[in-house]
Structure 1
């Protein structure tokens, strides 16, 4: 049984109220299959009020190692041989970055996702909202796998009383930079709202005409608008040339030399920046023969827009159409494309494995889907070898 230690190991007070089990490790396998199992990861994570997958993924990120999280069987693994002392040191870093309140250093915090896709620590002890470092690789994982009890809050709520997400006195940057570089650029280039003096109001149009004729006219206009739309995001491409997705696709083709921020702002202007369909359209229309280098350039854009498994599917759906249907000669580049997306933490390992082994005819015909996935075999094999074990 693991001994009980203070959550903050820098606190020597034996009466310190916040305790957790000491992290245990067990090394299994040999050769390329050697791995470190953490048998009490669930107990440690429960004491920290964080999912055990967060801590495991953090270890993998810091050590540059593959990880395996089997929640059903309560088994958490970091590839390679890692001593318990080293993982305990990394656990201290995790606690400091993702558990302790940056203001009072109390571990009574919950992770909360804001409307602006920032992550804050909501402290129950002092009431402060302090941001985490959104540049860390784990932040992207948390956004895609939010805590089960996490609540979406509006950006204004995150900066409520007591200094909000910035701590007591400052900007988000003072708390370790809660915004990634892409988000900072977006905010820097945000348009300034007009002042009251700049807004002109037509004095003859101060009220809504409620006459029967006006109501019928508005109803016809609404019906005409609705007629061009379909429910959800599964509308066929080209179905409505005036739909935001058709407009976005055409704009992307005409502005391939633009910036990642420019593409995001256009999607935002059309009101589809959070839609998986928008990710698919951009992935299908943006690239040329030099797709690998272009992916590296626009990785921040996709990292900002891809926030769920549905978005990951849409991203690969757009790429399937691009290389499978539009430029089949680029199909051999699929392993390099996957590597860029994987290293940029846009696609998750589990998703890539699922995608690579399940043919789908959602975006292209079945034969083309098979060819694209067959081309991914070298990358899938590389993933398997990276986490191979004695089995």
Structure 2
């Protein structure tokens, strides 16, 4: 099974391209006249594009002349007939070009708007990146379906339904949710505020069932060596994308930037049983590149971890202590952990409390920093949905910290 992530614009070969989506998966079921192609991760793909999964599924039906089946509640999307995965991915590129990308700047940060002028209805792409509004070609058959099933807007302060979440209410593409263009809460009427999320996490923490709380993103997770390697590569790319432009070191959008070199070096570093020598070698490489004191370097450093991260943290603790020297560094480390468990190893979500505990017990993370991180969703390092899931998974650890504080307070009172 294919796995990993690709650029939303697959014609863009830049591995640091910030807008990414899961590779579309397909599964053939049935036989004879009852044969059909199931799209098991269509919800995830559609969410990355900020479009309802029914739009993409119906688009396939229009292009292939096939009947489609959409079950939003159970997230089951079907195109009748047996269809090649590569063919469907090519059609998805066509959907992205026609119904997602801004015609002006080719950016996927767009929202579909239906404009009525008299008896005429037009569909417009409202770009949050460049501000342009560009029209959809109304001759395409999908436009009729969109007009009958317009994008749903959730009321501010009201919890969005599963269908709303899958539809990407509020617009925006890829890893950036376009609220007001700079990462602050603003014009997205379907997004939950940080305060609302904080209240929700605290309310649920006491009765959190770890197995029930953590939702599976895919119908199955491929754990083959090839799939794991692909997820590691996706993580490396997304890490690099996260540090592009916006630090104090100038433009990093270059394969010769020190962060790119550091990331490539880490991915290729040979295995060794001499952990101390490995820690020293990594630090010296960062020092050689002049980034040993930069918080971005910590974000890249997280790519050294694998699915055995809990056991690996004590081994790399001396290196982490040397490189994580401020609150900014700690936040970058937490951002790296978000990407590690959210992109490279989604099966690690239940291990988030153990990961945080290991970092906390080794004095790498401060209580105040991790507590603030745990109750404030940020899309700085990953998309908002992933950010929420990782923080929700961290609730048992946050609850433990809170109870530990209460115990200390009781002892002081005595």
TM-score, normalised with respect to structure 1: 0.38
- For CA contacts below 8 A with separation 6 or more, give which structure has more relative contact order: 2
TM-score, normalised with respect to structure 2: 0.36
